Amino acid sequence: FPIVATEELVPRVRLYRIHAPRVARKAAAGQFVILRVDAHGERIPLTIADWDAAEGTVSVVFMEVGTTTTRLARLKPGDVIADLCGPLGNPTEVENFGTVCLMAGGFATATIMPIARAMKAAGNRVIIVVGARNKDLLFWRERLAENSDELIITTDDGSAGRKGVVTEPVKERLERGERIDRVIAIGPSIMMKFSSLTTKPFGVKTIVSMNPIMVDGTGMCGCCRVSVAGQTRFACVDGPEFDAHAIDWDNFMARQRTYIDEEKRSLEICRC
Ligand code: FES
């Protein structure tokens, strides 16, 4: 799978456009791919940020954090990725809900774009709320504005938009009695957990896209399990999107930390 183009969106966050025509033909908002950098690499899931069926490409966005993403970041246009499997998972449920609020934390800004487009096309009023630590970590502001009716930016340090976290503008609106028919929150686990806690008292249906460790991506290994309404569900085939209010967040976040020591050791070796 040749890399057609690469772009550094902000420091350590890259967008890769990859030639994968059969994946591009079938991709839909909310789905993901699993790739291996080379024949000995681990398999990592990445949400599809965009696709072009005519050109035969899919775009993924990743942050350089661990061994695999560090090795991925060393590749250049013309280099190839050994395996790219997809599109996997269920597409986002899209219909005319009314007012849809899309909340994105960190580089999930890229992954909400296809959902925003699809929700707009279905006739929804789309509010996008993007949160970042500071202004240097924001990207695609114009594209987000084009694909929404309202764009709200929050930064932890107040260097762009309003100072504070991504949940605050949503909470204020709900407290004022403004109608929001559906929330979709995508980002780090802690951000999705607090988005869920924000909307729960108001009974607003809230969907999150879960990002557990995955291996096969086809429902066989069980490592992507998530506890939803007291039942074990597999994010790769039952998700990746679930009802945020039904998720056991503490269990999920503890499972995400399972291999932290091994991941650190692996990264040290990788950087040698
Ligand atoms: Fe193996 Fe989901 S990744 S069951």
CATH number at residue 120: 3.40.50.80
- In 10 A of CB 162, how many CB atoms? 13
Q: Is residue 272 part of a domain?
A: no
User: 101 with 183: CB under 8 angstroms?
Assistant: yes
Residue 153, domain extent = 99-256
Residue 219 Cα, ligand 1 centroid: separation in angstroms?
4
pLDDT score for 272 = 60
Residue 233 Cα, ligand 1 centroid: separation in angstroms?
10
- Cβ of 166 closer than 6 Å to ligand 1, yes or no, is no
- Cβ of 85 closer than 6 Å to ligand 1, yes or no, is no
pLDDT score for 252 = 92
| 248 and 140 in a common domain | yes
pLDDT score for 106 = 82
| 40 and 144 in a common domain | no
- Cβ of 217 closer than 6 Å to ligand 1, yes or no, is yes
- Cβ of 194 closer than 6 Å to ligand 1, yes or no, is no
pLDDT score for 157 = 93
pLDDT tens sequence for the chain (272 residues) = 999 999 999 999 999 999 999 999 999 999 999 999 999 889 999 999 999 999 999 999 999 988 999 999 999 999 999 999 999 999 999 999 999 999 999 888 988 999 999 999 999 999 999 999 999 999 999 999 999 999 999 999 999 999 999 999 999 999 999 999 999 999 999 999 999 999 999 999 999 999 888 999 999 999 999 999 999 999 999 999 999 999 999 999 998 888 888 888 888 887 76
> Which is the closest atom of ligand 1 to the Cα of 217?
3
Mutate which of 32, 88, 236, 258 for ligand 1 pocket (most atoms within 8 A of beta carbon): 236
pLDDT score for 257 = 86
| 184 and 154 in a common domain | yes
| 160 and 61 in a common domain | no
One-character DSSP codes across the chain: -BEEEEEEEETTEEEEEEE-HHHHHH--TT-EEEEESSTTSPPEEEEEEEEETTTTEEEEEEE--SHHHHHHHT--TT-B-SEEEEEESPPPP-S--SEEEEEEETTHHHHHHHHHHHHHHTT-EEEEEEEESSGGG---HHHHHHT-SEEEEEETTSSSSEES-THHHHHHHHHTT----EEEEESSHHHHHHHHHHHGGGT--EEEE-----SSSSSSS-TTEEEETTEEEEHHHH-SEEEGGGB-HHHHHHHHTTTHHHHHHHHHHHH-
| 78 and 109 in a common domain | no
| 155 and 104 in a common domain | yes
pLDDT score for 170 = 96
pLDDT score for 266 = 86
- Cβ of 222 closer than 6 Å to ligand 1, yes or no, is yes
> Which is the closest atom of ligand 1 to the Cα of 34?
3
Tokens 């006739």 found at: 123
Q: What is the residue with the minimal CA distance to atom 1 of ligand 1?
A: 221
Q: Is residue 141 part of a domain?
A: yes
Which residues does 7 contact at the CB level (< 8 Å), separation at least 6?
14, 15
- Cβ of 2 closer than 6 Å to ligand 1, yes or no, is no
| 188 and 130 in a common domain | yes
Question: To the nearest 10°, the Cα dihedral for 178, 184, 188, 192?
Answer: 60
> Which is the closest atom of ligand 1 to the Cα of 221?
1
